[in-house]
Structure 1
């Protein structure tokens, strides 16, 4: 499992690239960056790029649910970029847990995703 956070010049846009299976430890490592941006800007926009993604372990899923509950209204837009149908389904699954506009993009559409999240 690996992840990378890419900060954009616009400040409130956070791009997170995730490969493999997300663990609670990894989730905990990038969560402070996201919460810092929320504290700074009030609302943020996220672009999550999933490559060879295998989901969450139980601990990471629990951390994700707690984050979604706490920050329900702090994310304005969420773009998910992935490689498979089940990742596309994740975009629909996320909708009840956030007030963010959510859109799924295929991996070949990453530039469109970046444009959409910045609008």
Structure 2
């Protein structure tokens, strides 16, 4: 019997109202993964008046979402969408590029897909 690993690793840095959120997504994300991570993100952003959030997502080990987890992801984007300035999606699968384009519908800022981590970080931090 093989056990598959899935979930998020998260890093949050804050300087005044600027928030840098780093996520590594692995495997197939579940509703339970979002029940764990959403309160962490909500709490970090609630402590800041008018947060300006830059997000780096490492999706190189991401296989996708369960349907309910995809809904959770959409709700998270709708809740904080006007706080996101930039989202850099670093990945290696074509569907991730499409996901980055769809994300633009739900956030006020910009999102882009990159196959090169250094280029993603450079774009995000400029």
| Alignment TM-score, normalising by the size of structure 1 | 0.87
Of 30, 38, 47, the residue aligned with 1:31 is 38
Deviation per CA, 1:30-68: give whole Å up to 9, x if none. 112222232233221111111232211122111112112
- Would you say how many aligned residue pairs link Structure 1 and Structure 2? 117
What residue in structure 1 maps to residue 88 of structure 2? 79
In structure 2, the residue matched to 1:55 is 64
Q: Which runs of 5+ in 2 are unaligned?
A: 1-5
Q: Which protein shows a greater Rg?
A: 2
Which of 64-73 and 20-29 deviates more?
64-73
What is aligned with 2:3? none
3-state SS of paired residue (1:99):
coil
In the TM superposition, residue 26 of structure 1 has moved relative to its aligned partner by: 0.7
Per the TM alignment, residue 24 of structure 1 is displaced from its structure 2 partner at its CA by 0.9
SS at match of 2:104: helix
Distance between the aligned counterparts of 1:8 and 1:115, measured in 2? Answer: 17
Tell me whether 31-40 or 41-50 shows the greater mean CA deviation.
Answer: 31-40
- 1:37 and 1:44 in contact (8 A); partners too: no
Bigger helix fraction: 1
User: Displacement of 1:115 after TM fit?
Assistant: 2.2
Name segments (4+ residues, structure 1) moved above 6 Å: none
Superposed displacement of residue 9, structure 1: 6.5
Name the counterpart of 2:99.
90
Cα distance in 1 for partners of 2:67, 2:101 equals: 20
For the 8 Å contact 2:87–2:112, the answer to whether it is kept is yes
Rounded Cα–Cα distance in structure 2 between residues aligned with 1:27 and 1:61 = 9
User: Conserved in 1, the CA contact under 8 Å of 2:7 and 2:30?
Assistant: no
